[in-house]
Amino acid sequence: MSTIGIASIAVGVFAVGGRGALLVAPAATLGWFKRQMETNTRIRIMATVGLWLGVMMFWAGSTDESVLAMVLTGLGIGVLAVSALTWLFPNGYREFADALLPSVETANLTKWRILGLAGVIVGVMFIYVGVLAL
């Protein structure tokens, strides 16, 4: 089995799972995310998951010389950088997230649904390309 294919499928499943919830129930998903931003420990746990995902993407991308490998390597470096900064500076991440998230639960969530749909489409594309790479 191809390491790059397995990593691509894992990234796709992660994207579909994370963005699919935003597509189906944006208010509940944003509420859950806001609750996760309440403590530094929860932010660091999420950043640790991001660190592991970034390491997996970077490692898998370095095992091959294809366009998919370059994409995974680049995304892996980006995820590692953002996750490391989040882990080191959770208060800064909290302020950034608070600025982006809507403050009222009754706000128009159409843009969040579109973001969720875009994430699901990108995740399905990663899964498809990963299956082809196997």
Range 27-38 average pLDDT:
88
Who wins on pLDDT, 25 or 105? 25
Confidence of residue 104 (pLDDT cuts 50, 70, 90): low
pLDDT at 11: 93
pLDDT at 6: 92
The one-letter amino acid code at 38 reads E
The 3-state DSSP composition of the chain as helix, strand, coil percent (nearest 5) reads 85, 0, 15
Average pLDDT in the chain:
90
Q: Are 5 and 127 in contact (CB under 8 A)?
A: no
Range 55-83 average pLDDT:
92
Q: Please give the tally of structural domains in the chain.
A: 1
Tell how far CA 18 is from the center of its chain.
7
Question: Whole domain around residue 60: which residue ranges?
Answer: 3-133
Who wins on pLDDT, 44 or 2? 44
